[in-house]
Homo-oligomer: A and B are copies of this chain.
Amino acid sequence: MFSERQQQIVETAIKIIAHKGIQNLTIKNIANDIGISEPALYRHFGSKLEILKGVIEYFKIKMKPALEKLEESTNSLNKIECFISEHLKIISLNPDFAKVIFSEANFQNEENLILKMNNMMNQSHKILETIVQYGQKKDEIRSDINSLTIVRIIIGSMRLLVTQWSMSGMIFNLETEGKQLCDDIKKLMREG
């Protein structure tokens, strides 16, 4: 899908957005960081917009394993634990993701981009919602709470944790703190 150079460009773009904000994502900055000229970039992407589309595509590819791993668990609560820990593991390994992935607002003015980003997010939410509903039917998850609320709680707290981790300058261990969050969520989901 991506050539080596294209991947390098996308990774550099993510790095710049993470460290300097999207306002400083310019062709010049990407080119300088890589060490090639600006027109050279246009050999690999037709426009700046194409690079941003590449960024979202890159996220999709990198995040996919987190969803595939879910198949391995049978119990619903284990699936939820897996959902959280696998996502946090990937973000932990790619710290620059944290500052970019949950700031949909960054891509706001480009209809196509916001749509692409939303689709990616909604896909995750739908998968989690299915897990929760199935878990409620099998009595592994309490049924007196709206399934949509449970999804919002899981994803919302997970996102906030990532945001806090990123904003704090990665001062704490994301996976350790994620384990605590996960254990508490499992405790909340079980009883009732």
Whether, in the assembled complex, A94 has its beta carbon less than 8 Å from a beta carbon of chain B, the answer is: no
User: Which chain B positions have C-beta within 8 A of A164?
Assistant: 152
Whether, in the assembled complex, A181 has its beta carbon less than 8 Å from a beta carbon of chain B, the answer is: yes
Interface size on A, residues (CB 8 A): 41
Which of chain B's residues has its CB closest to A191's CB? Answer: B191
Whether, in the assembled complex, A22 has its beta carbon less than 8 Å from a beta carbon of chain B, the answer is: yes
Whether, in the assembled complex, A73 has its beta carbon less than 8 Å from a beta carbon of chain B, the answer is: no
Whether, in the assembled complex, A66 has its beta carbon less than 8 Å from a beta carbon of chain B, the answer is: no
Q: Which of B146, B149, B157, B192 interacts with A156 by CB under 8 Å?
A: B157
Whether, in the assembled complex, A24 has its beta carbon less than 8 Å from a beta carbon of chain B, the answer is: yes
Are A149 and B105 in touch, CB under 8 angstroms?
no
The answer to whether A105 and B109 touch (CB under 8 A), given A146-B184, A152-B157, A184-B145, is: no
User: Which chain B positions have C-beta within 8 A of A187?
Assistant: 144-145, 192
Are A161 and B156 in touch, CB under 8 angstroms?
yes
Are A161 and B152 in touch, CB under 8 angstroms?
yes
Are A105 and B108 in touch, CB under 8 angstroms?
no
User: Which chain B positions have C-beta within 8 A of A149?
Assistant: 157, 180-181, 184-185
Query: Nearest-CB distance from A96 to chain B (Å)?
Result: 12
Whether, in the assembled complex, A65 has its beta carbon less than 8 Å from a beta carbon of chain B, the answer is: no
Which of chain B's residues has its CB closest to A157's CB? Answer: B156
A108 to B159, CA, bound (A): 18
Which of chain B's residues has its CB closest to A114's CB? Answer: B167
Task: Give a binary string over A150-182; 1 marks a CB under 8 Å from any B CB, 0 the rest.
Answer: 101101111111011001000000000000110
The answer to whether A106 and B109 touch (CB under 8 A), given A156-B158, A156-B159, A191-B191, is: no
A144 to B188, CA, bound (A): 10
User: Which chain B positions have C-beta within 8 A of A160?
Assistant: 152, 155-156, 159
User: Which chain B positions have C-beta within 8 A of A146?
Assistant: 180, 184
